Structure 1
Amino acid sequence: MTPLDLSAPGRPRVAILTDETGWHTTRLRRALARRGYEGRCADLEDCRFDTSRAGPGIVIPGFGRTLPVAAIVRGIAGGSLEQVTKRLGILHALRELGVPVYNDARAIERSVDKSMTSFLLHRADIASPPSWALESEAEARRLVMAETAAGRCLVLKPLFGSQGKGLQRVGCVDGRPVPLPDLADYGRLAYLQRFVPQPEGPGAPGFDWRVLVVGGRAVAAMRRVSAHWVRNVAQGARCQAAQVTPTLATLAEGAATALGMDYAGVDLVPDASAPHGAQVLEVNGVAAWRGLQSVTGFDIAQAMVDDLLGRRLGVALSPADALERAG
């Protein structure tokens, strides 16, 4: 097979906005090249506003004074409030300039803020554990005490955290009371989500699901299996292939729609007491899919690119491409 030329001259250019290049960006560039587009990586940290000359008013490295035909958001580096505000501002500006952004700033803002995610899921009547976000440490401690008295456990999460980092269980944990820790490491804010019990231990590892939604459709799923209650792949969970059942599809697609997302990694936990037998824990707006790709033959990057070009740019698949996807 002849290697694809990822930088062929004259191809329409799509910006892949990322703070690191590697496996994901290579997959996206190859998927774009198959459709006749060039993917160019740029870090939002290096993008800037510039209204000193005629032009769009923003500069994306690698694009000069021109704009990409579209942008795919693959990663946004952390930083100060001012830095993150500017980086999201670039995404907002691209949208104002008519450039499709996949996912756009509004969707990312909804998903990165766990309290807003919980609110939107609740508003859309999508099964999700009861959650609280409050700044009063005294009120948070009273809440934990009440949940402890009721025999319930809560998970304290960083509001903007990811990959299972910084999670702690409080309340009634394994039959003993665990108080709320000092909130200094959590930005003086308590985001608490009621814990959904799962089997633990070497003999009975529990699991949750990661379902990938692209263009409003659940396209792939996996089980994340671990003896630990934190089941992120980054924390050592094992990936197992899973079927996209009607129940998982309904919940995951509803969650992505509630947050207005082009694509989303939706985390669900089994719960026999829930109406559909599962609840949505989190919705990821800049979802990684390397673990999921390792257990499915479905080409996730190609599905994302095809959805971007077809639904957001109105570029139909050629008959040959359509035949290849169907096969």
Structure 2
Amino acid sequence: MSDESGWHVRRLRRALLARGAALVRCLDLAQCGVATHASRHGLVLPGFGRELPDAVIVRGIATGSFEQVTQRLTLLHALAALGVPVYNEARAIERSVDKAMTSLLLRAAGIASPPAWSTECPAQAQRIVLREAAAGHALVLKPLFGSQGKGLQLVGQVDGTFVPLPDLAPYGGLAYLQRFVPPMSAPGFDWRVLVIGGRAVAAMRRVSAHWVHNFAQGARCEAAEVTPALAQPAVRAAQALGLDYAGVDLIPTPDGPQVLEVNGVAAWQGLQRVTGFDIAQAIVDDLIDRKVAAAVGRRSA
């Protein structure tokens, strides 16, 4: 399932065919729908007719209205309820897309992460910014459902100057604020750790002179060792959100790495450039060997 057919889809298609898939289709969830009396399952999946796929990999979900995104997730929920292995499942994607929910689940699991706040009240948000600025902290204002480092803004005490909270209309009328972690080196960096099937399988450093370290924003990717200090929080974060595979972003601090974000529809093009094995094949192998095998076992039991 992807809203665009690009590099990631081509790699996944090749990996699925290498594992013996008879047919690989790329569907946009926006082109799928519900027709309750048209088939036994009630779903409309172009190219499948009355049948269902053997498994689904979620590579991309297009942005849209609340109603449109809700239907797309409903389709994924329905596929899982019908016994189709979905990788990652809708509930896990919902947890990771919503940064406030991610922060809550990380907190509940005892995983180190920068303090975060989420509020619809502009006055309350401004009080948080003022209080944090008085303590010498900057905050990162993020779109609740944003990705690839887009729309991030520093507020509070920024390089000795107070930066007030901007109008929240471009952020959907909601302030999600996360305490900014100053870089410990120049240039600064963070880590992206890829977790597949409960294992941290690859890592990279994303290095940038800018405080935003996303590959999509021009950061330089460097290979990094998957140390226990990176692997443990990354795996625990993926497990806390119920993700089959995840890109976990960690930032260095004097007290050790802290989890910034957890990506449930993670891109890995930058990571692949500095990784010696085929990441798409590792994802497909985990889907087939673990998740599909478990579904087959349940059906035959």
Same fold (TM over 0.5): yes
Counterpart of 1:130 in structure 2 is: 115
Counterpart of 1:9 in structure 2 is: none
Counterpart of 1:69 in structure 2 is: 54
Task: Decide which of 257, 268, 283 is 1:304's aligned counterpart.
Answer: 283
Per-residue deviation, 1:52: 2.6
Counterpart of 1:30 in structure 2 is: 14
One-letter amino acid matched to 1:82: E
Q: TM-score, normalised by structure 2?
A: 0.96
- Pairwise CA RMSD of aligned residues? 1.0
One-letter amino acid matched to 1:304: I
| Gap runs ≥5 in structure 1 | 1-16, 316-327
Is 1:242 the equivalent of 2:224?
Answer: yes
One-letter amino acid matched to 1:222: M
One-letter amino acid matched to 1:231: H
Is 1:45 the equivalent of 2:30?
Answer: yes
Distance in 2 of aligned mates of 1:287 and 1:153: 27
Counterpart of 2:2 in structure 1 is: 18
Distance in 2 of aligned mates of 1:269 and 1:97: 39
Distance in 2 of aligned mates of 1:147 and 1:246: 32
Instruction: Count residues with an aligned counterpart.
Output: 293
Q: TM-score, normalised by structure 1?
A: 0.88
Query: Could you tell me the percent identity over the aligned residues?
Result: 70
Is 1:252 the equivalent of 2:234?
Answer: yes
Distance in 2 of aligned mates of 1:146 and 1:228: 25
Is 1:289 the equivalent of 2:289?
Answer: no
Per-residue deviation, 1:199: 5.0
Distance in 2 of aligned mates of 1:64 and 1:224: 44
Per-residue deviation, 1:256: 0.2
Partner deviation per Cα, 1:106-157 (whole Å, 9 max, x = no partner): 0000000000000000000000000000111111111111111111111000
Per-residue deviation, 1:65: 1.4
Contact 1:220 1:298 in 2 (8 A): no
Distance in 2 of aligned mates of 1:121 and 1:130: 11
Partner deviation per Cα, 1:147-201 (whole Å, 9 max, x = no partner): 111111110000000010110011100011111111111111110000000157x
Contact 2:96 2:264 in 1 (8 A): yes
Task: Decide which of 87, 99, 103 is 2:84's aligned counterpart.
Answer: 99
Distance in 2 of aligned mates of 1:249 and 1:121: 15
Distance in 1 of aligned mates of 2:138 and 2:40: 55
Contact 1:156 1:193 in 2 (8 A): yes
Match runs of 1:1-327 below 5 Å? 17-37=1-21, 38-198=23-183, 204-272=186-254, 274=255, 277-314=256-293
Distance in 2 of aligned mates of 1:216 and 1:93: 24
Contact 2:184 2:253 in 1 (8 A): no
Q: Which has the higher contact order (CA 8 A, sep 6+)?
A: 2
